Structure 1
Amino acid sequence: MSFNDTSSRKITIADVAALAGVSRAIASRALSPEERPVSAEKKARVLAAAEQLGFKPNLIARSLKSRTLNLVAVVVNHIHDFSDLVLFDRLIAAIQDTGKQVVLLRVGSLDRVEEFLRNGVAWHVDAALVFSDFADAATVRTMFRNDRVVMLNGMRDANAPSIVADEATPIAAAVAHARARGKTRAVLVTGRQTSPVEQARIAAYRAALAAQGLALLAEHVGDYSYESGRSLSAAVLREGPEAAIFATADAMAMGVIDAGRADIARKPGDWAFYGFDALPLARSEAYPISSIGYDLEAYIARVIEHLRQPELFERPAGVITIPGSFMPHPSCGGPAAFERWPAEG
C-alpha cells in the first residue's frame, strides 16, 4: 500500500504503525499521553509518522478499552474570589501537563451533592480532587465509582490522602506582628464557619490572640468574597484604627478597605490589616494588607504526584502538610518580606 492512498479514508493507528515500521501495540504506547514503555527512537518514529499522516487519536474509542478519558474531577464549592482564580489556573495547567484534562464540578450545597448521586454521576476519571467541604471522600468515591480521591478541604479520611497547609504557625506570626505594632485589640472577619478549614483558622486566631494578649472585640462572617468584605466594612471599621483587623481571605480585606477608604484616609498609617491567600494585589500600595500564604507550587506538586503515581492511593499517606508563611506588607515589613510570595501571572 502506498501511504499516499490514505488521503481518501480515515487514518488509523495501523497506518501510523506501518509507516513507522513498528507494531500497533508500540505505536499505541508511543502515542499515549501517559508514560508507557517504549524506546525513545521508536517513539520518535511513531510521532513523525503520525504527524506526516495527520493522525488524531480517538480518545473516545481508547476510553472504551481503558475505561478512562484521562480526566481528573475537581470538586469545588464555587469559584468566585481572587484566590480561586490563582489556584485553579495553576492547578489546571499542571494537570494538563500530565496529559489529562479536568472535569470541574461545582457543588455549592449538600442538595447538589445529593442531586449528583441521584443522577448517577459516573464519569470515568483517573482521580477526584475534593476542595468542596460539602462532599466527603466516601460520597465522592460513590459519585465517580473511583477510590482515587485526594482531600483538599480539611476533611480526614482513612482511605484518602489529605493535603493541607500549615496555617497555625503563620497566624501566630501575624498576631505577634500586630502586637509589636502596639495593637491590643482585634476584629476578625471570617468565611463560612461550617468549613473544617475555616474552623481551624478561627481556632488558630483565637489561640494566637489570647497568647499575645489581644482582646477579640468582634467576629464578622463573610463568604471569602470581595463583595462580602464591602458589605461588612462599616461594622469592621467601627472599632477604629486601634484594633488590628484580621480577615481569613485577602479578598474580604480588600472589600473592607475599598468600602471604608474615607474613614481609613483620616489616619492611614494607624490601621493594621491582615489577610489570607498571599494574593499579588495585596502587595500593592492600594491595599496595605499583610498576608498569610503557602508554597503554592509545592502544594500543587503533591497533588500532581498522586496523579502521576496512582500506586500512592493504595496506601494513603494520611495528612500531607505544606509549610505556611506570614508576609508583612512592604509598608511595614520591607520589600524583602515578599521574597516568598507566589510569582504573579
Structure 2
Amino acid sequence: MEIMQVLHMNKGEGETSYAKNSSVQRKIISVANSIIEEAVIDILCKNFPESMGIADLGCSSGPNTLIVISEIMYIVHATSRQMGHPLPEFRVCLNDLPSNDFNYIFESLPAFYQKLKDERGAGFEHCFISGVPGSFYGRLFPSRSLHFVHSSSSLHWLSQVPPELNSKAAIPLNKGKIYISKTSQFCVLDAYSSQFQKDFSLFLKSRSEEMVPGGRMVLSFMGRRSTDPTAAESCYQWELLAEALMSMAAEGLVEEEKIDSFNAPYYAPCPEELQYEVQKEGSFIIDRMEAFEIDWDGGASNENSFESLSRGQRVAKTIRAVVESMIECHFGRDIMDELFRRYSEIVEDHLSKNRTKYIDLVISFIKKGTN
C-alpha cells in the first residue's frame, strides 16, 4: 500500500466526507489555541518580522482547514497593534499529501478573505496563501523561510506501514489485528516504534532546516500517557475496527487473509518517546507539552444532523471519514457501508460500558539558535 496515494480524508461535502465529520479534529484544534497564541506572541516579541512565514502541515480540507490560520493572523493583528508595528505580510503554506482535496481549500479562500475583512477591517491585504503538496517526512520549504509551523491530527500517521509487518511469513505477525493490540507480539510493537522514531526524527530534521532560529512550532496529535503502547487509550479504536472486520470474515464477507495483511500506518507515541527523539535530533527545545482527553465523538456538536446520531454512529462516521480511503483500497468499496454499520454498533456497546478517551498530545517547540 503506497501511503502517499491512498491516505487522504474523504473528499467533497457528502454525508461521509471529512468536511461533515471532523468535529473531533475541530475539538483538538480548539484545545491547543492558548498554546498557539503563546508561541506566536513569543515570535513577535523577540524579533518582529516584516514578512512572516507560516506553514500548516497535514492541513486536510473542510471547514477546519483555515481555522488555525485565521487565529494566528488575529493574534498577529492584535499583538502588532499593541506593539505599534505595522502588520507583517503573511506567507501561508498549506501542506498535505498530493491526494488531498486541495480544491475544497482553494474554493473556500474568497470567503476566508472576506471574513478577515469583515471582522478585522483593513490590514490583511498582504496575505499570500499557497498549497504545498508532499510528505512532511522530508523537505518542503526553502531554508530559513518559516517563523511558525503548525500541525494538528497528522503526525500520528506514519510514512509507511512498518516493513517488518509486510513479510510473507506462513503465520502473519499481527494475525487478526490491524494495529497494535494487547495480543500483539513484541516484534510488532518494536516495528511500529522503530518506524515512528525514523519518521519523527526526519520530520524534525526537515523542519529545522526550514525554520528561522528562534522560530516556533506547535504540534497536536494522537498519543498516549502510558509508556505501554498496548494501552487502550492509544489503540482501542483500531481494536474495535478489527473486531468489526473479523465478524465479517466469520460470515464469509471478508477474507481473513485480507485482514491479516492489513496494518494501519499509524502510531500514538508517549511523551517519553517524543522527548527522547527531540533530544537526539538536537535542533529544538520543548517549551511545553500537554495531554488532553478528547471524547471519541468530539463531544457536543452544533451540527443537528450529526448530533441526532448515537455516539457509536458519530464515532463511526468520524473514523470512516479518515480511514476509508485506506480500507477501501485494501478490501474494496463493496463492504464499506456494512463495515462501518457494524463498527458503530460495536463502538456503541463499548462506550456504554467504558470511559474511553483519545489522548491528544500538544507540544510547543523552539528552534535553537539566534539570528
Bigger Rg over Cα: 1
Q: TM-score range by the shorter chain?
A: 0.3 to 0.5
When normalised by structure 1's length, the TM-score is: 0.35
When normalised by structure 2's length, the TM-score is: 0.33
- RCO (CA 8 Å, sep 6+): is it higher in 1 or 2? 2
